């Protein structure tokens, strides 16, 4: 396999040299908390068209909170979805490129001020995000793998041109993971992490055991980390063990949501079970073997700042 290019190789080095790599938090829900109405099939991607500066500002805030890696606003941005919203094919492709450049510009600005260099991971959200009906928490789309490949490939090609790495995230369906892993094989030098949405302590949303999904990912040197995102914090520790069983030696990525539950019908978040904060649980996840750690929906810059403090403390206690 050709060597990883650019900053994808940097992440591999960081994972060897640093006790942890801190991801950002929930971009869209942070935008919503600032008053932006994202009740739209494009979700945060609507602001790529209507207010890109708002996205750039949230990226800045996550960097200021201590994030080592930003995830782009492309989770729910696809050529098909953007065209459905009235953009031409060329405009849709430009919007995808803009999602990367907004994060890259925030990083460059932060770098010039601090001398620190964060990474930009281009979000590859699942087919269910395009459907905008909450099916990324269910999976089993009843479509063929060929259809999924045709859906994902154009966005994949555009985003992989300029980002540091790809974030194949919130995957609820093992067939979709297989499609994305095949696209990764067809993209020499590109690196990615792969993370799944999970229904319980052992299974992803479609019911497939996470250990089997992790084993699929373990076969690829281009997969930089395997893990879980946008799942309840209470599930994370046992799920880390499942990733280790399926992909021993592969770095583990975790970025759960706040513990609230998304209601697809009302398109809002409902209270979940009482759980400690991410910062309170982060040390446990780190000791269980997670090395890329952040937050997903309903987690903001303050949560990421607290995560950095908690992880720094946890890692310091383990130092010789």
List the CATH number of the domain containing 289: 3.20.20.330
CA distance 41 to 18: 38
CA distance 85 to 140: 25
234 within some domain = yes
62 within some domain = yes
The strand ranges marked E within the chain are 21-22, 69-71, 119-124, 165-171, 192-196, 223-229, 252-255, 261-263, 268-270, 290-293
> Does 279 score more than 90 pLDDT?
yes
CA distance 317 to 4: 33
Based on DSSP, count helices (H) and strands (E) in the chain, helices before strands: 13, 10
Mean pLDDT of 95-120: 92
> Does 84 score more than 90 pLDDT?
yes
Average pLDDT of the chain?
A: 91
pLDDT of the residue at 320:
41
pLDDT of the residue at 44:
86
> Does 4 score more than 90 pLDDT?
no
Tell me which of 270 and 173 has the higher pLDDT: 173
53, 77, 299, 304 from 126: Cα distances, Å: 25, 10, 20, 24
CB atoms within 10 A of CB 248: 10
Give the count of domains, the chain.
Answer: 1
What is the phi/psi pair of residue 36, to 5°?
Answer: -80, 130
CB distance 179 to 143 below 8 Å = no
Tell me which of 43 and 320 has the higher pLDDT: 43
1 within some domain = no
Give me the domain span that covers residue 203: 6-318
Q: Each residue of 150-191: pLDDT tens digit?
A: 999 999 999 999 999 999 999 999 999 999 999 999 999 999
């Amino acid at each position: 396999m050709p060597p990883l290019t650019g900053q994808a190789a940097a992440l591999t080095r960081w994972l060897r040299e640093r006790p942890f790599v801190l991801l950002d938090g929930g971009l869209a829900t942070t935008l919503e908390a600032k008053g932006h109405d994202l009740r739209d099939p494009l979700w945060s991607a609507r602001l790529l068209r209507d207010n890109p500066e708002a996205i750039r500002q949230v990226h800045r805030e996550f960097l200021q909170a201590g994030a080592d890696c930003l995830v782009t606003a492309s989770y729910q941005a696809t050529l098909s979805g953007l065209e459905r919203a009235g953009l031409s094919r060329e405009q849709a492709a430009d919007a995808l490129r803009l999602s990367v450049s907004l994060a890259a510009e925030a990083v460059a600005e932060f770098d010039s001020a601090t001398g620190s260099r964060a990474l930009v991971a281009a979000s590859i959200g699942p087919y269910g995000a395009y459907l905008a009906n909450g099916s990324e928490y269910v999976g089993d789309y009843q479509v063929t793998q060929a259809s999924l490949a045709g859906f994902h490939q154009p966005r994949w090609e555009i985003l992989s041109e300029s980002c540091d790495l790809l974030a194949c995230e919130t995957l609820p369906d093992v067939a979709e993971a297989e499609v994305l892993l095949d696209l990764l094989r067809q993209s020499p030098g590109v690196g990615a992490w792969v993370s799944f949405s999970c229904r319980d302590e052992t299974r992803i949303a479609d019911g497939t055991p996470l250990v089997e999904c992790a084993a699929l990912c373990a076969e690829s040197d281009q997969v930089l980390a395997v893990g879980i995102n946008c799942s309840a914090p209470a599930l994370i520790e046992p799920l880390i063990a499942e990733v280790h069983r399926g992909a021993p030696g592969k770095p583990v990525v975790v970025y759960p949501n706040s513990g609230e539950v998304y209601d697809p019908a009302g398109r809002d978040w409902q209270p979940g079970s009482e759980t400690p904060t991410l910062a309170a649980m982060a040390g446990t996840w780190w000791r269980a073997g997670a090395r890329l750690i952040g937050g997903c929906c309903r987690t903001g810059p303050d949560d990421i700042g607290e995560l950095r403090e908690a992880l720094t403390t946890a890692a310091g206690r383990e130092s010789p």
